[in-house]
Structure 1
Amino acid sequence: MGEKPKPEARLHAVVHGYVQGVNFRYYTVRTAQRLGLAGWVANRWDGTVETVAEGRREALNEFLAFLHRGSPSAVVQRVEVKWETPTGKFERFRVRYL
């Protein structure tokens, strides 16, 4: 088997609003997996949801669009976004417990 390709980009986002207790992490994992992204999503103590994702830039842009919409029951108020240098250390996308 060949080497895993290095991701093109890394997105680090914090989602604000009514985003906990509404299956936001579940939908985030499903969306990231569908897009072929690797990384994690976690609830934070302050009621926000944080996520880090790596992969193709086009897929990350689609993932970011999802973060602005959220899960069906979520109410997203704003999304803080940082584009970072990818590390390639993630094997898959998962829920992380902080």
Structure 2
Amino acid sequence: MIDHAPVRLTAWIRGRVQGVGFRWFTRATALEIGGLTGFATNLTDGRVQVVAEGPRESCEALLVWLTGTDTPGRVDGVTEIWDSPRGGYPTFEIR
């Protein structure tokens, strides 16, 4: 059964993910999946943080992309947490 319930995915991506277009491609992928709002931002420790809100199946599709081999740079690992959506994001943006 497909789960359309809205959720919030927060993911921290480790590896060579800054300076390689990672946030841009994350935004493009989120928009292509559709139904997602949130952001991708660089952190001072070299990771990228992604917050996505929308249907669970869409957030799961974004997580599959984040952990896959199609991303720019090199992903060494992803830590994620799931929560209830908080709202407040008009679209998916780069910060």
Q: Give the TM-score normalised by structure 2.
A: 0.88
Q: Between the two proteins, what is the percent identity of the paired residues?
A: 39
Give 1 or 2 for the bigger CA radius of gyration: 1
Provide, for residues 20-49 of structure 1, a one-character-per-residue CA deviation record: whole Å limited to 9, x for no partner. 111100100001111221000001111100
Q: Give the TM-score normalised by structure 1.
A: 0.85
Q: How many residues align?
A: 90
**In structure 2, do the counterparts of structure 1 residues 86 and 45 end up closer, same or farther at CA, with 3 Å as the change threshold?**
same
Runs of 4+ with deviation above 4 angstroms: none
CA RMSD of aligned residues (A): 1.4
Query: Which ranges in structure 2 are unaligned for 5 or more consecutive residues?
Result: none
Task: Judge conservation of contact 1:8–1:57 (CA < 8 Å) in 2.
Answer: yes
**Number of the residue aligned with 1:40:** 39
Partner secondary structure for residue 69 of structure 1: coil
TM-fit CA distance, 1:70 = 6.1
Q: Aligned ranges for residues 30-69 of structure 1 at < 5 Å?
A: 30-36=28-34, 37-69=36-68
**In structure 2, do the counterparts of structure 1 residues 50 and 70 end up closer, same or farther at CA, with 3 Å as the change threshold?**
farther
TM-fit CA distance, 1:72 = 4.5
- 1:29 matched to 2:27? The reply is yes
Query: Which ranges in structure 1 are unaligned for 5 or more consecutive residues?
Result: 1-6
Q: Distance in 2 between matches of 1:72 and 1:78?
A: 12
